[in-house]
Structure 1
Amino acid sequence: MKTGMFALALGLLALRWLPALPSVGWLLAMLVLVLMLLPFRTYPLAFFLLGLSWACISAQWALDDRLRPALDGQTRWIEGRVIGLPQQTGEGVRFELADSRARNVLLPKRIRVSWRGGPAVRSGERWRLAVTLKRPSGLLNFHGFDQEAWLLAQRIGATGSVKDGERLTPARNAWRDTVRQRLLAVDAQGREAGLAALVLGDGSGLTREDWRVLQDTGTVHLMVISGQHIGMLAGLIYALIAGLARYGCWPSRWPWLPWACGLAFAAALGYGLLAGFGVPVQRACVMVGLVLVWRLRFRHLGLWWPLLLALNGVLILEPLASLQPGFWLSFAAVAVLVLAFGGRLGPWSVWQAWTRPQGLIAIGLFPVLLVLGLPISLSAPLANLVAVPWISLVVLPLALLGTALLPLPFIGEGLLWLAGGALDGLFSGLAWLAGRVPAWVPAEVPLGYWLISLIGAVVVLLPKGVPFRVLGWPMLMLAVFPPREPVAHGQLEVVQLDVGQGQSLILRTRHHTLLYDAGPRSGTFDLGARVVLPSLQKLGVGALDMMLLSHADADHAGGAGAIARGIPIKRVVGGETEGLPAVLGAQPCQSGERWMWDGVSFELWQWPDATNGNAKSCVLQVEANGEHLLLTGDIDRAAEQAFLVSPLAAPTDWLQAPHHGSRSSSSRAFLQRLAPKSVLVSRGRGNAFGHPHPQVMARYHALGSQVYDSAEQGAVRVQLGAFAPPVVARSQRRFWRERLP
C-alpha cells in the first residue's frame, strides 16, 4: 500500500514539470490503462497514472477558467462578491471577487482586482465595479518569481484595475474580516498587523521593513506559515486534558483519551479555518489527525507514513499546490525533521532537541531554497533558536487567548497588548541580527551541481556512524562555490530584463558588468529591488563597474537607489544628472567617451542641444567581434536626426527600440540608416501609453527586423559577438504559460 501511495504522490507532483497538458484523448487513454492495470495488481503504475490524470484534469479546469482573449484589456461593469481578506495598501486596496458576472459575457470564477485610491472594502460585500480586465500574466525573467504560476495555483482567472464602483450589499458571514478589524483596532504596542498575521495568516499589514527582517533572519514561516502552530495548539489542548485526567479533575464518566484527541483535532481545524486553511495548514491538520488517530487506536504508523498521506491529501484536494514555493518548503522542512529524528537510536537531551533541529533544517532546506531561487538566511539557525519557542510558547498563546476573549472588556485587549509587546521585542532583536547578517542571494547553480548538493545534504542529515557521512559536506559546498563558465573574451552577454513599463539591461563581459537603466519605481513598488538587483545577484555579479542611467525618468532610473544600496557600484553615469539622487554621485554623459573591456568596445553619445529628459538620453553603442548593439533610452525624432550625423549612425545588429516603441520615436530615416536586424522592446503589457505604436511596428517589420517584446516574450538573453539567436524566457515551456505569438 505504501508503494502505491508513493507512486500516487509522484503522479500528482509530475504536473509541476509538464511543458504542456495532455489532450483529452491521452487523458482518457491513461484512465483506461489504469482500469486495465488494477486487476493485474500493478498498483504503482496504476496509482502513478491515476495521480497524473487527476492533476492534469484539475489543471485543465483552471486553464479553461481564464479570461477569454477577446476580453483582454476591455473595461466592463461586473458584479461580484468580495472573498478572502482585502489588502489595504498606501495606494489603495486589492481584493478578490467570486461569483462574478457581467452582461453577455462569461467571466472566470475568481478575479483579483486593485483599486487605486479606492474606499475600504470588506469581505462578504457585493460590489458593482467598472474593471479593466486582463488575462493572468506577470513579469517573466530567467531568475525570479513566476506570477502566472502563482495566479493559476490560486485559481485566479483574471486580474483587473477598478475605475469606479458602488457597494450593492453589506458584508455577510465575514467573520474573519471582523476578527481582523478587531485585532487592528486594539492597542498592541504597534504590532497589531503582526498579531493579525499570526492569528489569521494575513500578512498584508506588515511593512516592507518587517518582511525584510523576517527574510534576512529566516523567520518568515513564523508569521505566515502556521503549520507548526497548528500542531502546537493541538498538543497544548491534548496535554491540558491529559493533565486534568491525571490529577482527577476530568469527569470520570467521559473517557479522557477520545475527548483529548477529538478536542485537539477540533482546535487544529478551528485555528486552520481562522488562518485561511492554506497548504501548510492543510498539511498540519492532516498530520495532526493521523497522529491522533494513531494515539487513539494505539497503532504505530511510523514517521514517513503520515507525511506521505498528508502529501497525497493536500495534492488530491489541490493538485496545483505544487506550483507554490510554500508547498515545497513546508513538506521539505517536515521531511528533514523526520529524517533527523527518525534515524536516531537513542533519545536526544532537552538541549539537543532544542538546538539541533534548527541547524538540520538549515542544511536540509538549503538545496530547496537554492532551486526555488529564494534568498538564504545565514542567521536562520540562531534566529529560530529563540524565535520559535518565543512565538510558540509566549506570543501565539497570548494572541489566540486574547482574540477569543475580546468580547470581555479589558481582558482580551490586555492579553493582546502583552502579545504585541512580546512580538515587538522579538522584532527588535531580529532587526539587530538582520542588520549584521543579511540574507544571501546565491548565484544560479547548474542542475548537475545542484543534484550533487542535494545528495550531500541528505548524506549530512544521516545519523552519526553512517560510513562516509563526512563526504556530504564537500558535496553540499559544491552549490556554494560552483564552477562557472565565464563570458568568452571579445563577447558580451546582454540580458534585457522584463520590468514592465520601464527598462533595464545587464551587459557582462568576461570581467566587467554594466547596468543600462535600473527599472521603474512607483511609490513603494520598486522593480529595482524586486527584479534588477536579484537578477544581478543570480548572475553572480558582486559589483557593478558602471550603472548608466539613460535619463532621470522614473521608469528608467527609479530603481537606482535600491540597486546602489544592495551592490557596490564603481561609477554612475547619467543622461541628466540633475534629476538623479545626489547620493548616487552620478557623472554626466560625455559624448565620444570610449573604453574597452575584455575585447569589447563601448562608446557614448548624447545630443548636445537636448532640452528635455527624453531627448537627453545617454546613448550607448557596443561592438563585440563585429556585432553591434545600440541602446537609445528614450530619444525622440529630433534626437534621432542629430544622431544620424554622428559616426555611430551605422548599420546595427541589435537596436533597443527608442522610447519603448513610441510614435514619437523610431523615425523612418533613423531606421533606414541603422537597418537593425533585431529589435528589443521593453514595455508593460497593456500599458496606458499604447507602446509600441502599430506604425512603429509596421516600420520594423517592413525592414525585416525580428522584434523581441518583453511584454510577450519576457526577458531576452543575447550573446553579442557570437552571432547566435537569442534566448527568451517564454521559450522555456510550462503548461501554465501562453505560447509565443
Structure 2
Amino acid sequence: MFTLALGLLALRFLPALPSVGWLIAMLVLALMLLPFRTFALAFFLLGLSWACISAQWALNDRLQPALDGQTRWLEGRVIGLPQQTATGVRFDLADSRSRNARLPSRIRVSWHGGPAVRSGERWRLAVTLRRPSGLLNFHGFDHEAWLLAQRIGATGSVKDGERLTPARHAWRDTVRQRLLAVDAQGREAGLAALVLGDGSGLEAKDWQVLQDTGTVHLLVISGQHIGLLAGLIYGLVALLARYGCWPRAWPWLRWACGLAFAAALGYGVLAGFGVPVQRACVMVGLVLLWRLRFRHLGFWWPLLLALVAVLILEPLASLQAGFWLSFAAVAVLVLAFGGRLGPWSVWQAWTRPQWLIAIGLFPVLLVLGLPISVSAPLANLVAVPWISLVVLPLALLGSVLLGVPLAGEWLLWLAGGALDGLFRGLAWLAGHVPAWIPAEVPLVCWWVSLAGAVLLLLPKGVPFRVLGWPMLLLAVFPPREQVPHGRVDVLQLDVGQGQALILRTRHHTLLYDAGPRSGAMDLGARVVVPALKKLGVGALDMMLLSHADADHAGGAAAVARALPVKRVVGGETGGLPALLDTQPCSSGEQWTWDGVIFELWQWPDATAGNPKSCVLQVQANGERLLLTGDIDRAAERAFLDSPLALRTDWLQAPHHGSRSSSSWPFLQRLAPGSVLISRGRGNAFGHPHQQVMQRYKALGSRVYDSAEQGAVRLQLGAFAPPVVARGQRRFWREALP
C-alpha cells in the first residue's frame, strides 16, 4: 500500500509524462515482478502507470490548438454550481458539442453581464474558446495545474446564448438557492459554503479574513465535519440503545454504523465530494467497518488506505494544495495523539492539537508557497468548536427542515447570527495579526525545518526533541542570497495585460509599475506583493509608476498598504490613489545604488496618458536595461535626442508591443539584444502587433513574452541569459514556443 501510494504521488513531480512505449514497459515489468513477490517495486510501477495514464487522458482532452481563440457556437449542459460574480456569471459545461469540432468533456466559461444560470440547464452559446492557461510566476499559484486537476479542458468567454432546456435533477443548486433566499443575518453565502462546500458567494474580504486567521478549512474543506456528523449519529443510536429506546429487533451496532456512514456519505454528496470529503468518508467507513467487526484499528492504516483510494479515483488530486494540506493535517493529529502514555486533560485535548497542527503544517505551507497564519492556533481554538458544535448542526438541521414552515428559516437565522459573530471576531484578529508570507527558503533549509517539525511532534522524552525548535526556525530566518555589488536582479512578473518589474541591487529595491487592477481583481495584491515578500523585500526604496493607467498603476495602492514605500515617483501624478504621496518624474535625475546607475527621462511636451510615461534606464557593469512604459512614436522620436538613446542590451517593449510604438528608427538606434514584453494572452488589443514582432526579428532581438513564457528573471551586469518560469518543466505545461 505504501509503495502504491508513492507511485501515485510521483506523478506530481514528473517534468514530462512517459511515452506509450515506456508505459507498456512499466506495466509489463510490474506484472512480471508480482510472481516473484517483489511487491514493493511492482506496486510502485502500477501506481505510477495508472497515474500517468489518467493524466494523459486529461491532457488529450484539452482544446485542440487549432481552435484556440476561435469563437464558435456550441451546445452544452451546465454542471456543478454556477458562480455569480461581480460582473456576470461563471459556470462549467459538460457534454458540449460543436459542428465539425471535437470539444473537451468539461469547459469553464464566464459570461460578462449574463443572465442567471442554473445547474442542469442546457444552453446554446457563442463562446470564444481558449486552451487552459493562467498567470505563471515563480512560487506563485499555478492556475494551469489547477485547471488540469479539475479536468477542465478549455476556458472561454460567452458572447451570446439561449437556454434550450430547463434545469433537471439540480437538487444541489435548488438547495443553494433556498439557502441564499432565507434571512441568515447577512451570512447566507457563508451557510451555503458550510453546507454545500460552495464558497463562490463569499466576498473577497471574507476570504482574506479566513486566510489571515487560518480558518479557511472550516467553511470550504468539510472533512472534519463529515467525521463529526457520523460521530453524532453513531452516538445518538448508541445512547438510545443504552436506555432501551432502540427496537430490540434491530441490532443497534449494525444500525449505528450503517446510519453513521449513510449520514457521512450523504453530507459528502451535499458538499460536492471533494478530496477532503473523499478522504473523510473513506476513513469513517473503515473505522465503522472495523468497529462492526470488533477489531482494534490503528490510525495509520485508514489514513494510508484513504490516501490510496483518493488517488486511484483521481490521480490528479495531488496537483492541488488542498490535497496535501488535508492529509498532512490528519497525519499531524495521528502523530500528536499516538504513542502517548496516559490521557490528556480536557484543556490539553482542546489546546494542543491547534498548536501541533500549526507546527506540523508549517513546512507544508512553506513548500506550497502559501501564506502562513500566525494567529491560526488562537483563532481555531474558538472557531473549530463554535463551527462544529453550534453553526454546523443548526445549518444542517435548518437545511433539512426548510420545507417545514418557519422551523428551517428560524434555525438558519440562528446559524447565520452565530456565523456572523464568529466572522466579526476573526476580522478583528486578522486586522491585528495578518497572514505572513515568508521569504523563499533554500531546499536544504526546508528539509531541516521539516525534520525539526517532526521532532517537535514526537512525545516528550524523545532524545534531542528540543533541537526541533532551532531546526524549525531555520526556515523562518533562512540565509539570504545577496545580489552582487554592481549588479541588479530584475524580475518581470506575469501580471497579464499590465506590467510590473522588481529591480533589486545589493541593498535597495525599486518597483517599476505595480500591475493592473480591474474591479475586485487586484494583481498588485495577488501577484506583486507576494512576489516582493517571497524575495525577502521588507520595504521599497522607490515605487516608480510610468503613468496612471490602471494596467500599470492599478496595484499601487495594494503595494503601498502592504509595504513601506520611501518614495513614489510617477509619470503622472493625477489619477493615482490619494494614499500615495507621488512626486513627478524629473527628467535627467540620476542616482547610484550599490554601484548601479539609474536615470529618468520624460518627454517634456507630453500632456497626459501614454506619451507622458516616465522612462528608466539602468546600467550595471556596462549592461543596459531600458524601461519605457507606454511611450508612443512621438515620444520615441523625442527620446532619440536624449543622452539615453544608446545601444541597449534589454528593452522593455513600449506599450506591450503595440503598433503605435516600437518605431523602426527607435529600434535601430537602440539595437536591443533582448526584448521584454508584458501582456495578457489573447488580449483584446492584439498586443504584440505582428509588424512590431517582425522588426524585432529583423534586428535579431531575442523576445521574452510573459504570455508565452511567464515571469522572466535576469541579473543585469552578468551578461547571462535569463530564467523563465515556463522553463521549469512540468508535465501539465506546454513546451516553450
TM-score in terms of structure 1 length: 0.99
- Give the corresponding residue for 2:541: 545
Of the three residues 594, 597, 605, the one matched with 1:598 is 594
CA distance in 1, matches of 2:236, 2:296: 23
The offset of 1:445, in angstroms, is 0.4
Tell me if 1:186 matches 2:178.
no
Alignment of 1:454-473 (within 5 A): 454-473=450-469
- Give the corresponding residue for 1:643: 639
> Do the aligned residues in 1 keep the contact of 2:88 with 2:110 (CA within 8 Å)?
yes
- Give the corresponding residue for 2:390: 394
Matched residue of 2:410: which SS? helix
Tell me if 1:173 matches 2:164.
no
Tell me if 1:696 matches 2:692.
yes
C-alpha distance after superposition, 1:601-658 (max 9, x if no partner): 1000000001231000000000000000000000000000000000000000000000
One-letter amino acid of the structure 2 residue matched with residue 717 of structure 1: R
C-alpha distance after superposition, 1:94-140 (max 9, x if no partner): 00000001001000000000001000101000000000000000000
- Give the corresponding residue for 2:157: 161
- Give the corresponding residue for 1:211: 207
Aligned residues: 737
Of the three residues 714, 733, 736, the one matched with 1:737 is 733
- Give the corresponding residue for 1:504: 500
The offset of 1:350, in angstroms, is 1.3
- Give the corresponding residue for 1:569: 565
- Give the corresponding residue for 1:522: 518
CA distance in 2, matches of 1:220, 1:584: 32
Matched residue of 2:265: which SS? helix
Tell me if 1:22 matches 2:3.
no
Of the three residues 639, 656, 681, the one matched with 2:652 is 656
CA distance in 2, matches of 1:76, 1:611: 43
Tell me if 1:341 matches 2:337.
yes
Could you list the runs of 4 or more consecutive aligned residues of structure 1 that deviate by over 3 angstroms after TM superposition? none
Of the three residues 214, 217, 224, the one matched with 1:221 is 217
Tell me if 1:483 matches 2:473.
no
C-alpha distance after superposition, 1:679-702 (max 9, x if no partner): 000000011111000110000010
Alignment of 1:602-681 (within 5 A): 602-681=598-677
The offset of 1:455, in angstroms, is 0.5
One-letter amino acid of the structure 1 residue matched with residue 486 of structure 2: G
One-letter amino acid of the structure 1 residue matched with residue 129 of structure 2: L
The offset of 1:725, in angstroms, is 0.6
Of the three residues 6, 13, 16, the one matched with 2:9 is 13
- Give the corresponding residue for 2:579: 583
CA distance in 1, matches of 2:334, 2:644: 64
The offset of 1:582, in angstroms, is 2.1
- Give the corresponding residue for 1:372: 368
The offset of 1:164, in angstroms, is 0.4
The offset of 1:143, in angstroms, is 2.0
Alignment of 1:307-346 (within 5 A): 307-346=303-342
One-letter amino acid of the structure 1 residue matched with residue 498 of structure 2: G
- Give the corresponding residue for 1:383: 379
Tell me if 1:65 matches 2:46.
no
- Give the corresponding residue for 1:430: 426
CA distance in 2, matches of 1:648, 1:211: 46
- Give the corresponding residue for 1:110: 106
CA distance in 2, matches of 1:288, 1:92: 39
Matched residue of 1:168: which SS? strand
Of the three residues 38, 41, 48, the one matched with 2:37 is 41
CA distance in 1, matches of 2:313, 2:39: 21
Matched residue of 1:578: which SS? coil
Tell me if 1:301 matches 2:297.
yes
CA distance in 2, matches of 1:81, 1:299: 47
The offset of 1:299, in angstroms, is 1.3
CA distance in 2, matches of 1:174, 1:492: 56
The offset of 1:90, in angstroms, is 1.1
Alignment of 1:67-146 (within 5 A): 67-146=63-142
The offset of 1:347, in angstroms, is 1.5
Of the three residues 444, 447, 467, the one matched with 2:440 is 444
The offset of 1:343, in angstroms, is 1.6
The offset of 1:349, in angstroms, is 1.3
CA distance in 2, matches of 1:245, 1:589: 80
Matched residue of 1:301: which SS? coil
One-letter amino acid of the structure 2 residue matched with residue 422 of structure 1: A
Matched residue of 1:97: which SS? strand
Of the three residues 707, 716, 719, the one matched with 2:715 is 719
Matched residue of 2:611: which SS? coil
Tell me if 1:260 matches 2:261.
no
Matched residue of 2:83: which SS? strand
- Give the corresponding residue for 1:148: 144
Unaligned runs of 5+ in 1: none
CA distance in 1, matches of 2:18, 2:506: 43
Cα root mean square deviation, aligned? 0.5
Identify the range of structure 1 (299-308 vs 488-497) with the bigger mean alpha-carbon deviation. Answer: 299-308
One-letter amino acid of the structure 2 residue matched with residue 139 of structure 1: L
One-letter amino acid of the structure 1 residue matched with residue 651 of structure 2: L
Matched residue of 1:87: which SS? strand
> Do the aligned residues in 1 keep the contact of 2:572 with 2:608 (CA within 8 Å)?
no
Matched residue of 1:67: which SS? coil
Matched residue of 1:577: which SS? coil
C-alpha distance after superposition, 1:421-460 (max 9, x if no partner): 0000101111111111111000010111001000000011
CA distance in 2, matches of 1:426, 1:522: 30
Matched residue of 1:406: which SS? helix
The offset of 1:357, in angstroms, is 0.2
Matched residue of 1:615: which SS? helix
CA distance in 2, matches of 1:302, 1:398: 33
